[in-house]
């Protein structure tokens, strides 16, 4: 009779787990189904559509064959993630649906792994006595997965196709954790599960560099939740900790470059991170004000209130987490989840400078820790309530909150429906962000909305009157000049090309276009002056070389000085070698050979 009851309980538990998985799958699909045909935006054009390293998946069998590609350093560091994009390209080319489907599948897998990891962690030796009720354990795991899978802050790692690196790394990390915890529960399959955990961790390390810190999280959970002598722990953790060296090997030895080009120094970058991490926590608790680009700054002193204030907060939270870890049950899980959050941000929010100070997709793996830590405490707290209060609290936790998160996620996804919507959202939330105005204008231009593009550029120029972000201000003037030139408003175009070059003397294209305007006006000496500056700013600007050569030809036609043709010849030849089908260049070269005897 007892065996029969246990068998029945096991069957019911198994059935409940399947129902939970089905609910999670249905809700995750509902949250992201509308994004399936959203276009590639922003840097996805360069990294995906125009990336030669993705056009031949078979080349990944011998990655060194791609060493000449400008994307090779990224491939060397993130081989697994890049391979997934190459397979996408092989199966469907530029069709966005395939890329979005893979991202959705990765997110669903990560959500289910949060569910499985929560169950396994709550079933560990240190938690077993407090979580002997399978139904209660299942509710905690379901809540953790609901919070993770439906939270709108995850949209940047799911809907933004290129940030698959973040979600796929988290998927492999969570798989490694689940397999590691499962290996500790069984003797029969221990070796196989442990080996699979190592493989998953290695895959994470070759998907994105932030996986570097995850072995420390597994080690922390092992020490806090599993049994074993110091020798046993050392034997099972040593291979995982050794896997951390995969990341520096890929970054510094295989790719031969740092993580990304950035103008921030290590201390400068680090000065912004206390506030950034506080913003991450705020977005988790109340996902309001999400943006592709947040307004964050660096600070000159550790005693700046914007550095010191958040640091005090983080020290207090870390101390609280350590205190909670010393307690039993759900409090211990909450403390571990909070430490998980901080450790998972160690690579991207510390002293390693990377181009952007803050990105929401970096929260993807850290949030898993918060969800796994918060859900058991919430479920235990609700369980301590009585009668209708408990029922109401369960309804809020399992219906109201997930519904609100789902609604917010769908709404946030709408921002990714077009470049105009995306950059319009950034401009609305960060009216001093000059790059956002520039990108918004570019998106209007691509859509053929020229008047709207001009208004976006002009708004950006007004916002940049304070002198902030001069390079972006130069680009705004340059793009506005292009619009005016296309509309035949040459005087206005010349004015803004001049502003662009004055703000950024290295803007070779603006100088080149000023040269063209003065050529067309017959002001050849002034044209020559600008074109020489354009070449000095960028020696590889072949258009400026050709235009300078053409200026010399025009001056020859006025003066008959053959020496001008000799100056023009190498300039025009350089362009003709790069573009042999350009007829004007060939015509000029033929005339120069005839007149100058070259």
Q: What percent of the chain has pLDDT over 70?
A: 96
Indicate the residue among 416, 442, 468 that finishes a domain: 416
What is Dmax (Cα atoms) for the chain? 113
- pLDDT exceeds 50 at position 1: no
Is the residue at 486 inside a domain? yes
Residues 164 and 245 in one domain: yes
8 Å CB contact between 172 and 200:
yes
What pLDDT score does 198 carry? 98
Its domain, for residue 398, covers: 2-40+94-416
Match 């500790």 to its residue by tokens: 184
Is the residue at 72 inside a domain? no
Is the residue at 451 inside a domain? yes
Indicate the residue among 389, 416, 443 that finishes a domain: 416
- pLDDT exceeds 90 at position 250: no
Residues 397 and 511 in one domain: no
**Full 3-state SS string of 386-411:** CHHHHHHHHHHHHHHHHHHHHHHHHH
Q: Among 225, 410, 431, 411, which residue's Cα sits nearest to residue 328? A: 225
Average pLDDT over residues 200-204: 98
Q: What is the pLDDT of residues 6-24, one digit of tens each?
A: 566 667 888 999 999 999 9
The SS3 of residue 574 is helix
Indicate the residue among 366, 388, 416 that finishes a domain: 416
Q: What is the pLDDT of residues 527-560, one digit of tens each?
A: 999 999 999 999 999 999 999 999 999 999 999 9
Distant-in-sequence, close-in-space partners of 264: CB < 8 Å, separation ≥ 6: 298, 353, 357
Q: What is the pLDDT of residues 331-378, one digit of tens each?
A: 999 999 999 999 999 999 999 889 899 999 999 999 999 999 999 999
Q: How many residues does the chain have?
A: 598
Residues 318 and 426 in one domain: no
Residues 172 and 216 in one domain: yes
- CATH number of the domain residue 520 falls in: 1.25.40.10
- Dist CA 367 CA 476 (whole Å): 37
What pLDDT score does 186 carry? 87
Residues 101 and 235 in one domain: yes
- Dist CA 335 CA 321 (whole Å): 4
Token pair of 425 as six digits: 């959202």
- pLDDT exceeds 60 at position 261: no
**DSSP string for 275-296:** HHHHHHHHHHHS--S--SS---
Residues 373 and 237 in one domain: yes
Is the residue at 281 inside a domain? yes
Residues 383 and 452 in one domain: no
What pLDDT score does 596 carry? 81
Token pair of 391 as six digits: 């029922």
Residues 349 and 465 in one domain: no
Is the residue at 190 inside a domain? yes
Q: Taking each helix axis from N to C terminus, what angle separates 364-383 and 330-344, rounded to the nearest 10 degrees?
A: 170
Surface-to-core class of residue 465, CB atoms within 10 Å of its CB (0-12 exposed, 13-18 middle, 19+ buried)? exposed
Distant-in-sequence, close-in-space partners of 512: CB < 8 Å, separation ≥ 6: 530, 531, 534, 541, 543, 544, 547
User: Would you tell me how many other CB atoms lie within 10 Å of the CB of residue 522?
Assistant: 10
Residues 300 and 441 in one domain: no
Total number of domains constituting the chain: 2
Q: What is the pLDDT of residues 465-493, one digit of tens each?
A: 766 678 899 999 999 999 999 999 999 99
- Dist CA 197 CA 593 (whole Å): 70
- Which segment of 2-6, 175-179, 190-194 scores lowest on mean pLDDT? 2-6
What pLDDT score does 6 carry? 53
Is the residue at 82 inside a domain? no
What pLDDT score does 5 carry? 52
Is the residue at 88 inside a domain? no
Residues 221 and 329 in one domain: yes
- Dist CA 301 CA 291 (whole Å): 27
Residues 372 and 488 in one domain: no
What pLDDT score does 309 carry? 96
Is the residue at 75 inside a domain? no
Q: What is the pLDDT of residues 30-81, one digit of tens each?
A: 999 999 999 999 888 888 888 888 888 888 888 888 877 778 888 889 999 9
HSE-CB of 255 using CA atoms within 13 angstroms: 23
Residues 372 and 504 in one domain: no
User: Predicted confidence band at 586 (pLDDT cuts at 50, 70, 90)?
Assistant: very high
């Amino acid at each position: 009779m007892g065996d029969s009851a246990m068998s029945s309980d096991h069957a019911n538990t198994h059935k409940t787990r399947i129902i939970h998985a089905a609910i999670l799958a249905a809700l995750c699909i509902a949250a992201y189904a509308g994004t399936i045909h959203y276009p590639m935006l922003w840097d996805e054009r360069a990294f995906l559509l125009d990336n030669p390293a993705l056009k031949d998946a078979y080349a990944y069998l011998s990655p060194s064959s791609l060493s000449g590609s400008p994307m090779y350093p990224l491939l060397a560091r993130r081989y697994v993630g890049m391979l997934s994009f190459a397979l996408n390209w092989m199966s469907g080319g530029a069709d966005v649906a395939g890329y979005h489907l893979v991202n959705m599948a990765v997110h669903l897998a990560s959500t289910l792994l949060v569910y499985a990891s929560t169950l396994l962690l709550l079933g560990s030796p240190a938690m077993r006595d407090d979580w002997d009720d399978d139904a209660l354990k299942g509710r905690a795991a379901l809540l953790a997965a609901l919070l993770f899978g439906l939270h709108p802050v995850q949209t940047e790692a799911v809907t933004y196709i290129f940030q698959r690196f973040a979600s796929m790394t988290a998927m492999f990390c969570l798989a490694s954790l689940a397999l590691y915890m499962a290996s500790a529960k069984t003797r029969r399959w221990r070796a196989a599960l442990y080996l699979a955990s190592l493989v998953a961790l290695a895959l994470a390390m070759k998907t994105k560099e932030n996986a570097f810190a995850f072995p420390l999280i597994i080690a922390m959970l092992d020490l806090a939740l599993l049994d074993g002598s110091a020798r046993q722990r050392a034997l099972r953790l040593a291979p995982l900790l050794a896997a951390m060296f995969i990341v520096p090997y890929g970054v510094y030895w295989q790719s031969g470059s740092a993580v990304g080009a950035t103008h921030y120094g290590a201390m400068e970058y680090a000065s912004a991170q206390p506030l950034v991490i506080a913003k991450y926590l705020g977005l988790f608790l109340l996902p309001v004000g999400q943006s592709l680009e947040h307004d964050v700054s660096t600070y000159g002193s550790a005693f700046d209130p914007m550095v010191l204030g958040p640091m005090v907060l983080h020290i207090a939270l870390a101390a609280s987490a350590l205190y909670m870890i010393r307690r039993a049950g759900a409090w211990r899980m909450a403390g571990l989840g909070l430490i998980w959050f901080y450790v998972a941000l160690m690579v991207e929010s510390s002293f390693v400078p990377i181009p952007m100070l803050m990105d929401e997709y970096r929260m993807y793996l850290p949030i898993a820790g918060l969800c796994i830590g918060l859900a058991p405490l919430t479920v235990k707290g609700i369980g301590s309530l009585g009668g209708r209060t408990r029922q109401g609290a369960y309804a809020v936790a399992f219906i109201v909150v997930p519904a609100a998160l789902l609604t917010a996620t769908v709404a946030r996804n709408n921002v990714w429906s077009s470049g105009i919507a995306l950059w319009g959202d950034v401009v609305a939330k960060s009216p001093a962000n000059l790059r956002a105005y520039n990108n918004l204008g570019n998106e209007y231009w691509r859509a053929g909305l020229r008047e709207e593009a001009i208004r976006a550029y002009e708004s950006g120029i007004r916002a940049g009157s304070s002198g902030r972000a001069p390079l972006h201000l130069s680009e705004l003037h340059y793009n506005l000049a292009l619009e005016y030139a296309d509309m035949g408003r040459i005087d206005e175009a010349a004015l803004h090309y001049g502003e662009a070059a004055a703000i950024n003397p290295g803007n070779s294209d603006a100088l080149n276009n000023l040269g063209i305007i003065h050529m067309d006006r017959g002001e050849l000496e002034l044209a020559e002056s600008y074109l020489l500056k354009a070449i000095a700013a960028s020696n590889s600007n072949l258009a400026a070389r050709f235009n300078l050569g053409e200026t010399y030809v025009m001056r020859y036609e006025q003066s008959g000085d053959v020496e001008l043709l000799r100056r023009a010849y190498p300039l025009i030849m350089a362009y003709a070698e790069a573009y042999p089908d350009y007829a004007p260049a060939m015509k000029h070269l033929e005339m120069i050979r005839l007149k100058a005897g070259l």
